[in-house]
């Protein structure tokens, strides 16, 4: 079916055809035709944000909380450079999004012309945080480019895509054919490679599994649990896979982050590790350079990840859920008895955590107690947030969203807004520090405008606390650049139209419950300033 339409209408029509429901962005003369396209598509909701960083962080939270992909519309130049932070986060989290950048007319590009919003090498700039980059050369090309971007992220490792649409392409009219739906093919693993992996797993006496974010994003929870049961293998879920096996499961060990020598017991006694959907990054590689058993079986959809940190005995390139399901079929229905005492380990871990994390443990346990299993918690880089993946029991994949290794402050609020828009039936609780809150607080306006139900906890120590403690540890207590003179957070939140109160750490559970019952956007300021060893995030030397 071919229709004559502008490039702006074509982008919106292609997004509708691909099932995209939300666009985050900020208008400008260089992307108005794109917004005008969405004006004509009632199934797509445009969310006006207050900074492009907010748009891409929302899209990241949106993708991580759900299996859905959102779009962002930004102007060229500063719109794109502002958007890069959220794209960088999503890149490091393997989260997909479609970022559409406006652009000057094709004839004005690739030479210094002093045009408005001019940014040299915009494709290379965006390319540093994208898995797919394309400038659309003509209006008729729009559906094909959108499809190609989606195919890239749906059939391989999910990453942001950057699609640049010059103004003449946006306003030009052409006969445009929308494409019929496509079922994207996800690689299920070579049968021979799966056979070798099964042989290795069968021969192991004491295997364990390290599950990463790839399991969560592929929807591989059931297959992961089945393989763990067949092998009697305890499962460590990385920061990005928390909940991929429920923490109620007798084989779930939780996250190993936090330089816990406790995990050395597991590492020293295991004879094989099955690593699935994890790049073993600095966060997942507990004890930074953990002594993995010499026998490694690795599954990943990205061949570049396989064997990158450790030599592997058997490797399968493929979608985590499909390959785990294949392994499960080969291993059969029998269940091996667990070789590791998981319950005892977890009990001892909790005692150790009380010593290490101090008051953060109680706060996190209170949050868990008040949150339903499907509550989505979104962290920032603040003491309680850092400890969340380690200390919080998680029962479903995609319900603990911890910032990726790109590591920007200000992640929690916009990512939580995205999560709530993607999953409007799930409660969402965001956790940030005073420093991180002031990076993206303007998105409170977005949350209020969108009439979201959302709770944000701001743990306030009037400091860039983590770095202050770092200065204590490494720089002899010479504090510089870490003390903050903050505005009144409660007044500030109220000025945005939020409900806001200052509460004690011990009241966090009751406050969250009360806010959720009342509905709307709530900001609780929580004075929180532990000292000594319990003030340290899990990564502190
Ligand atoms: C964009 C960016 N700038 C700087 C940092 C470095 N950084 C990491 S944690 C931190 C302090 C965070 O302060 P706050 O949000 O108040 O949490 P706290 O550590 O006090 O609990 C800083 C500045 C960062 N992660 N991201
Ligand atoms: Mg702070």
Residue 388 CA to residue 283 CA, distance in Å, equals 13
| Spacing, Cα 390 to ligand 1 middle (Å) | 19
Name which residue sits closest to atom 10 of ligand 1, judged by CA: 464
Torsion of CA 426, 370, 348, 354, to 10 degrees: 120
Residue 293 CA to residue 258 CA, distance in Å, equals 19
Residue 461 CA to residue 383 CA, distance in Å, equals 10
Q: Which residues contact 383 (CB under 8 A, 6 or more apart)?
A: 360, 433, 459, 461, 465, 466, 528, 530, 535, 537
What pLDDT sits at residue 512?
98
Name which residue sits closest to atom 1 of ligand 1, judged by CA: 408
Residue 213 CA to residue 420 CA, distance in Å, equals 20
Cα–Cα nearest to 233, from 155, 295, 170, 157: 295
Cα–Cα nearest to 154, from 182, 112, 135, 189: 182
What pLDDT sits at residue 269?
92
Q: Which residues surround ligand 2, an ion (CB under 5 A)?
A: 433-435, 461, 463, 465
What pLDDT sits at residue 289?
65
Q: Which residues line ligand 1 (CB under 6 A)?
A: 381-383, 407-409, 433-436, 459, 461, 463-467
What pLDDT sits at residue 110?
74
Name which residue sits closest to atom 21 of ligand 1, judged by CA: 382
What pLDDT sits at residue 259?
55
Name which residue sits closest to atom 16 of ligand 1, judged by CA: 435
The predicted model scores a pTM of 0.97
Residue 55 CA to residue 59 CA, distance in Å, equals 6
Q: Quick one: CA dihedral 236, 240, 245, 249, positive or negative? A: positive
What pLDDT sits at residue 108?
81
| Spacing, Cα 410 to ligand 1 middle (Å) | 9
Burial of residue 385 (number of CB atoms within 10 Å: 0-12, 13-18, 19+): buried
What pLDDT sits at residue 288?
53
Q: Which residues contact 531 (CB under 8 A, 6 or more apart)?
A: none
Ligand nearest to the CA of 53: 1
| Spacing, Cα 70 to ligand 1 middle (Å) | 27
Q: Which of 466, 485, 536 to mutate to test the pocket of ligand 1 (most atoms within 8 A of CB)?
A: 466
Q: Which residues contact 505 (CB under 8 A, 6 or more apart)?
A: 359, 362, 363, 526, 527, 528
Name which residue sits closest to atom 11 of ligand 1, judged by CA: 464
Radius of gyration of the chain (CA): 24
DSSP for 412-444 reads HHHHHHHHHHH-TTS-EEEEEEHHHHHHHTTHH
Residue 181 CA to residue 19 CA, distance in Å, equals 10
Residue 73 CA to residue 75 CA, distance in Å, equals 7
Q: Which of 467, 484, 528 to mutate to test the pocket of ligand 1 (most atoms within 8 A of CB)?
A: 467
What pLDDT sits at residue 356?
87
Which phi and psi (to 5°) does residue 314 adopt? -145, 140
Q: Which residues contact 304 (CB under 8 A, 6 or more apart)?
A: none
Q: Which atom of ligand 1 is nearest to the CA of 383?
A: 21
| Spacing, Cα 13 to ligand 1 middle (Å) | 40
For each of the chain's 541 residues, which pLDDT tens digit applies?
689 999 999 999 999 999 999 999 999 999 999 999 999 999 999 999 999 999 999 999 999 999 999 999 999 999 999 999 999 999 999 999 999 999 988 888 777 778 888 898 999 999 999 999 999 999 999 999 999 999 999 999 999 999 999 999 999 999 999 999 999 999 999 999 999 999 999 999 999 999 999 999 999 999 999 999 999 999 999 999 999 999 999 999 988 765 566 788 888 899 999 999 998 876 666 545 677 889 999 999 999 999 988 899 999 999 999 999 999 999 998 899 999 999 999 998 888 888 889 999 999 999 999 999 999 999 999 999 999 999 999 999 999 999 999 999 999 999 999 999 999 999 999 999 999 999 999 999 999 999 999 999 999 999 999 999 999 999 999 999 999 999 999 999 999 999 999 999 999 999 999 999 999 999 999 999 999 888 998 888 7
Q: Are 160 and 91 in contact (CB under 8 A)?
A: yes
| Spacing, Cα 505 to ligand 1 middle (Å) | 20
Structure tokens belonging to residue 195: 């056979």
Beta pairing, strands 314-317 & 376-379: unpaired
| Spacing, Cα 517 to ligand 1 middle (Å) | 31
Q: Are 369 and 427 in contact (CB under 8 A)?
A: no
Beta pairing, strands 160-166 & 173-177: unpaired
């Amino acid at each position: 079916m071919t229709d004559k339409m502008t490039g702006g209408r074509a982008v919106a029509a292609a997004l509708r055809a691909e099932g995209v429901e939300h666009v985050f962005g900020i208008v400008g003369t260089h992307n108005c035709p794109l917004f005008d396209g969405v004006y004509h598509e009632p199934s797509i909701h445009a969310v006006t944000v207050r900074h492009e960083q907010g748009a891409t962080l929302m899209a990241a939270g949106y993708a991580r909380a759900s299996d859905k992909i959102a779009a962002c519309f930004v102007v060229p130049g500063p719109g794109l450079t502002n958007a890069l932070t959220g794209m960088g986060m999503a890149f490091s989290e393997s989260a997909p999004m479609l970022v559409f950048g406006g652009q000057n007319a094709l004839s004005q590009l690739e030479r210094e012309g002093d045009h408005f919003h001019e940014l040299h090498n915009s494709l290379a700039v965006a390319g540093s945080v994208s898995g797919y980059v394309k400038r659309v050369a003509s209006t008729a090309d729009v559906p094909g480019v959108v499809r190609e971007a989606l195919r890239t992220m749906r059939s391989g490792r999910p990453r942001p895509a950057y699609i640049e649409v010059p103004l003449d392409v946006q306003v030009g009219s052409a006969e445009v054919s929308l494409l019929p739906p496509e079922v994207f093919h996800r690689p299920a693993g070579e049968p021979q490679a799966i056979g070798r992996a099964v042989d290795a797993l069968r021969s192991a006496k004491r295997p364990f599994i390290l599950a990463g974010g790839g399991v969560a994003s592929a929807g591989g929870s059931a297959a992961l649990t089945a393989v763990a049961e067949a092998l009697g293998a305890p499962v460590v879920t990385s920061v990005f896979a928390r909940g991929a096996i429920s923490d109620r499961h007798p084989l779930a060990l939780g996250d190993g982050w936090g330089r816990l020598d406790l995990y050395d017991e597991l590492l020293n006694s295991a004879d094989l590790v099955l690593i699935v959907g994890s790049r073993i990054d600095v966060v997942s590689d507990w004890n930074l350079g953990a002594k993995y058993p010499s026998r490694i079986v690795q599954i990943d959809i990205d061949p570049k990840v396989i064997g990158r940190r450790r030599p592997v005995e058997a490797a399968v390139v493929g979608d985590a859920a499909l390959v785990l399901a294949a392994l499960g079929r080969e291993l059969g229905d029998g269940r091996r008895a667990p070789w590791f005492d998981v319950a005892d380990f977890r009990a001892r871990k909790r005692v150790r955590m009380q010593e290490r994390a101090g008051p953060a443990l109680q706060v996190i346990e209170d949050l868990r107690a008040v949150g339903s299993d499907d509550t989505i918690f979104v962290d920032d880089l603040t003491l309680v947030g850092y400890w969340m993946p380690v200390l919080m029991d998680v029962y479903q994949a995609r319900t603990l969203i911890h910032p990726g290794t790109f590591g920007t402050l200000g992640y929690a609020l916009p990512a939580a807004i995205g999560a709530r828009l993607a999953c409007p039936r799930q409660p969402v609780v965001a956790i940030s520090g005073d420093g991180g809150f002031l990076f993206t607080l303007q998105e409170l306006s977005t949350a209020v405008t969108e009439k979201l139900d959302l709770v944000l906890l701001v743990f306030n120590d009037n400091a860039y606390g983590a770095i202050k403690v770092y200065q204590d540890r490494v720089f002899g207590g010479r504090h510089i650049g870490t003390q903050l003179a903050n505005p009144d957070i409660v007044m500030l939140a109220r000025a945005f139209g939020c409900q806001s109160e200052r509460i004690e750490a011990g009241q966090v559970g009751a406050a969250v419950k009360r806010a959720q019952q009342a509905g709307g956007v709530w900001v609780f300021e929580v004075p929180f300033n532990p000292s000594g060893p319990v003030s340290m995030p899990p990564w502190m030397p």
